[in-house]
């Protein structure tokens, strides 16, 4: 969103690394804190948890001498690996998500940039803005992360215009 950079989403709409059109991104790995969690045969178990590798043929887990560092690189606030799939050019391959730089849905209002992970998020945000709900009435964690500047009365019309433009993409 604007200001504080949000954590990268596990699934989101990004710009295709090949043609820059709309592509879907899905994280390649899922971390479970429970080391006894049932995981895919291609997954890994550590003393502090386990890792499920979602698409082992496209993007395998790269073993590291220090699995803690590997896990932090994958799920931390950094840049997670996943698979980008583009319907326009047919690209389907590994992609290192650079969030929010890779966000397909982005717009500027009141001097701040709004980053939306997907179209569904934009629709929910537009409904909230149209009904002029206050930021404290936002009932989902991702909408609560939207900075207050986007809910200011002076930005109301610009937000509706920006959100409608993004929904046309």
Q: How far apart are CA 169 and CA 15, in angstroms?
A: 12
Averaged pLDDT, 137-151? 78
Cis peptide before 100 (omega within 30 of 0): yes
Q: Are residues 78 and 28 in the same domain?
A: yes
Q: Is the predicted pLDDT of residue 139 greater than 70, yes or no?
A: no
Predicted local distance difference test score (pLDDT) of residue 36: 62
In a domain, 3, yes or no: no
Question: Are 91 and 115 in the same domain?
Answer: no
Of 46, 69, 96, which one is at a domain's C-terminal end? 96
High-pLDDT (> 70) share of the chain, %? 64
Tell me what pLDDT residue 64 has: 46
Q: Specify if 101 maps to a domain.
A: no
Token reading at 102? 């890779």
The answer on 158 and 86 residing in a single domain is no
Instruction: Report the predicted TM-score, pTM, of the whole model to 2 decimal places.
Output: 0.74
User: Across-strand partners of 83?
Assistant: 26, 94
Residue 39 has pLDDT above 70, yes or no: no
Q: Which domain holds residue 16?
A: 11-96
Higher pLDDT pick, 91 / 49: 91
Same domain (yes/no): 18, 84: yes
pLDDT score of 9: 78
> Does residue 15 share a domain with residue 51?
yes
Which of 35, 70, 96 represents a domain boundary (last residue)?
96
> 94-135, pLDDT tens digit by residue?
888 888 899 999 999 999 999 999 999 999 999 988 887 655
Using the 3D structure, point to which of 96, 116, 146 is the last residue of a domain. Answer: 96
| DSSP secondary structure letters along 80-144 | -EEEEEETTT--EEEEE--TTTTBSEEEEETTEEEEESSHHHHHHHHHHHHTT--GGG--SHHHH
Cβ count near 105 (within 10 Å): 21
Count of domains in the chain?
2
Find, among 103, 96, 102, the residue nearest to 79 by Cα. 96
Examine the domain organization and report whether 22 and 49 are in the same domain.
Answer: yes
């Amino acid at each position: 969103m604007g200001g504080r950079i949000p954590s990268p989403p596990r699934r989101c709409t990004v710009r295709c690394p090949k043609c820059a059109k709309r592509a879907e991104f899905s994280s390649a790995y899922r971390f479970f804190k429970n080391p006894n969690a049932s995981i895919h045969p291609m997954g890994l178990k550590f003393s502090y948890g386990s890792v499920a590798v979602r698409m082992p043929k496209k993007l395998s887990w790269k073993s590291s001498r220090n699995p803690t560092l590997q896990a932090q690189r994958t799920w931390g606030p950094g840049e997670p690996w996943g698979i980008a799939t583009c319907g326009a050019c047919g690209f389907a391959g590994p992609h290192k998500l650079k969030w929010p730089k890779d966000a397909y849905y982005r717009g500027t209002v009141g001097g701040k940039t709004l980053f939306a992970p997907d179209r569904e998020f934009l629709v929910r945000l537009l409904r909230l803005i149209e009904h002029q709900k206050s930021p404290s009435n936002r009932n989902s964690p991702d909408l609560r992360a939207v900075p207050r500047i986007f809910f200011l009365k002076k930005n109301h019309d610009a937000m509706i215009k920006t959100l409608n433009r993004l929904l046309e993409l």
